[in-house]
Amino acid sequence: GLVNTREMFEKAMAGKYAIPAFNFNNMEQMQAIIQACVETASPVILQVSSGARKYANQTILRYMAQGAVEYAKELGRNIPICLHLDHGDTFELCKSCIDMGFSSVMIDGSHLPYDENVALTRKVVEYAHQFDVTVEGELGVLAGIEDEVSAEHHTYTEPDQVVDFVTKTGVDSLAISIGTSHGANKFRPEQCTRNAEGVLVPPPLRFDILEEIEKRIPGFPIVLHGSSSVPQKYVDIINKYGGAVKDAIGIPEDQLRKAAESAVCKINIDSDGRLAMTAAVREILWTKPAEFDPRKYLGPAREWLKELYKHKCEKVLGSAGKA
Ligand code: G3H
Ligand code: 13P
Ligand code: NA
Ligand code: ZN
């Protein structure tokens, strides 16, 4: 069946790698994730956002994840699969997912005043732990780019708060803010420098803050949101075939490799999958304009996605071979 994150994170901590947390909203994304993780023998966290619930229906996604467990076995490997609520914002939403069979939830109270974040997170933990469901909390706020207005404003996690937060709440893992952000425009080009090949290199993540946090709560599982690397090859294909994705910059893979070797045990990736899928669909519809069977473009999109996820497990997170 579906498993919580406890044993996954213990092994990831000891083995110095990170578990991939891939978002899914539809069947093709789920299949690509499972195929990739079976082929690379990687444990995996399937994440459902509030947006995914609205798009696809929570019940359907929950049973799709159950199907994923059977699908993995059918493909030849019984890998550990966790079904996790991404960015839960209320107790009621977390409870609804727990009651329906999710094995892990995130309660994101990071925008709230500290004491309210503690109280809300504690309430979710008290409920979740009765059912052996693990809980991710968050301290610090990721910068966001909304309506094409880029607000360069991270509220980095305050290392002095983490002991108090994990003790008072009882959370199983902690998401932190050290310079990552959601979406495909994580940095403005003018914040970056160019390397010898002319590739834009963004400012590094705040590993100094991560190290401070690790000192305060040694061995405690840390989570990184906003960790897509935004591969330029997908952006180029999208734009070649009629798209207009501008100034897309992600977290360089070497930064993510370094994070995976630390106490970071879960790395969230959604945007890269969106880019891969869109690149495939755009290329096919552009080059084969007579095609109108969705399987003819969603099938290849699923293949591109699978290759992306395999690359993440093998070359970035180090989770390949751990299941
Ligand atoms: O954290 C955000 C994830 O990428 C999910 O995004 O709410 O558009 O599904 P979404
Ligand atoms: P990206 O937008 O960088 O893929 O981040 C996804 C995420 O953090 C989901 O919670
Ligand atoms: Na790690
Ligand atoms: Zn996130």
- 84 in contact with ligand 2, CB cutoff 6 A: no
- 182 in contact with ligand 2, CB cutoff 6 A: yes
pLDDT at 205 over 80: yes
Q: Whose CA is nearest to atom 9 of ligand 1?
A: 51
Contacts of 300 (CB under 8 A, 6+ apart): 280, 284
- 226 in contact with ligand 2, CB cutoff 6 A: yes
C-alpha 286 – ligand 3 centre gap (Å):
41
- 86 in contact with ligand 2, CB cutoff 6 A: yes
Distance of CA 173 to the CA centre of its chain: 14
144 versus 295: the higher-pLDDT residue is 295
CA distance 214 to 166: 13
| Number of the ligand 2 atom closest to the C-alpha atom of 184 | 2
Q: Counting ligands in written order, which one lies closest to the CA of residue 267?
A: 2
pLDDT at 94 over 80: yes
Q: Whose CA is nearest to atom 10 of ligand 1?
A: 51
**Domains of the chain with CATH codes:** 6-317 (3.20.20.70)
pLDDT in tens, 61-92: 999 999 999 999 999 999 999 999 999 999 99
CA distance 273 to 270: 6
pLDDT in tens, 107-148: 999 999 999 999 999 999 999 999 999 999 999 999 875 444
Report, as an integer, the average pLDDT of 275-283.
Answer: 98
Name the 3-class secondary structure at 1.
coil
Distance of CA 83 to the CA centre of its chain: 12
pLDDT in tens, 222-244: 999 999 999 999 999 999 999 99
| C-alpha distances in Å from residue 118, one per residue of 77, 108, 113, 166 | 39, 10, 9, 9
Q: What is the mean pLDDT of the chain?
A: 96
Name the 3-class secondary structure at 193.
strand
The pocket of ion ligand 4, defined by CB under 5 A, consists of: 225
Complex prediction ipTM: 0.98
Predicted local distance difference test score (pLDDT) of residue 236: 98
CA atoms within 13 A on the CB side of 220: 24
Predicted local distance difference test score (pLDDT) of residue 143: 86
CA distance 218 to 92: 32
Report, as an integer, the average pLDDT of 242-269.
Answer: 98
Predicted local distance difference test score (pLDDT) of residue 148: 46
Tokens of 192: 């970056």
Most confident region among 18-32, 139-153, 193-207 by mean pLDDT: 18-32
Q: Which amino acid is at 190?
A: E
Predicted local distance difference test score (pLDDT) of residue 216: 98
CA distance 49 to 38: 23
Query: 54, exposed or middle or buried, with CB in 10 Å at 0-12, 13-18, 19+?
Result: exposed
Report, as an integer, the average pLDDT of 151-155.
Answer: 76
As beta bridge partners, residue 224 has 176, 267
Mark whether 208 is an active-site residue: no
C-alpha 289 – ligand 1 centre gap (Å):
31
pTM above 0.90, yes or no: yes
CA distance 281 to 185: 21
C-alpha 51 – ligand 1 centre gap (Å):
6
Tokens of 237: 């294909």
CA distance 152 to 37: 35
pLDDT at 149 over 70: no
Q: For a pLDDT cut of 70, what percent of the chain falls above it?
A: 98
C-alpha 283 – ligand 1 centre gap (Å):
24
Residues with beta carbon inside 6 Å of ligand 1?
A: 23, 49-52, 86-87, 182, 270
pLDDT in tens, 296-318: 999 999 999 999 999 999 999 99
- 103 in contact with ligand 2, CB cutoff 6 A: no
